Amino acid sequence: MKNYDVVIVGAGPAGVGITSMLKDFGVENMTLLEKGKVGESFEKWPEEMRFITPSFTTNFWSQMDLNSIATGTSPAFTLETEHPTGKEYAKYLRTITEYFELPVKENTNVENVDYTEGQFKIDIKNEETIKSRFLIWAAGEYQYPDLNAFKGSQLCLHNSKVK
């Protein structure tokens, strides 16, 4: 059974971003598990959908791009666009994982998680169970929408349901 210091589940912006940060801090014994492929939820966005928050390579206050998820990167610079589409942002996420050589394992479906004796036991469909000291769950809301979030929400259409 493989033992990790950190297992991250979900290769969207949160998962890729935290994996990049942990690598910056010198964490080596980790893995990033993704049920499909890196940025897959963004690939499913409707074609017309764009980021509301603009991507800029810099601004007047010398802050980094608000849509950036890794140190020294910018979707605006990488994609050459201010308001990326889902497909464009998925490309940015894949670029980050490749450039920083993040330990991503795609097509890996986590079926169960248990915590006992100071370790997480993570059962993976059709694969060996792995263990980890720390587990970061970064599977996004797009994939698991709460369709009854508030009174009247049954009258709304979640963007994951737009074809």
**Single pTM value for the model:** 0.86
User: In total, how many domains does the chain have?
Assistant: 1
* Tens digit of each residue's pLDDT (9 = 90 or more) over 78-94: 888 889 999 999 999 99
The stretch 148-152 carries a mean pLDDT of 78
Domain that holds residue 77: 3-161
The reported pLDDT for the residue numbered 61 is: 52
Going by C-alpha positions, the residue among 27, 5, 7 that lies closest to residue 136 is 7
Q: Which CATH number fits the domain that encloses residue 87? A: 3.50.50.60
* Tens digit of each residue's pLDDT (9 = 90 or more) over 21-54: 999 999 999 999 999 999 999 998 888 988 888 8
CA distances from 159 to 41, 84, 99, 120 (A): 11, 16, 30, 33
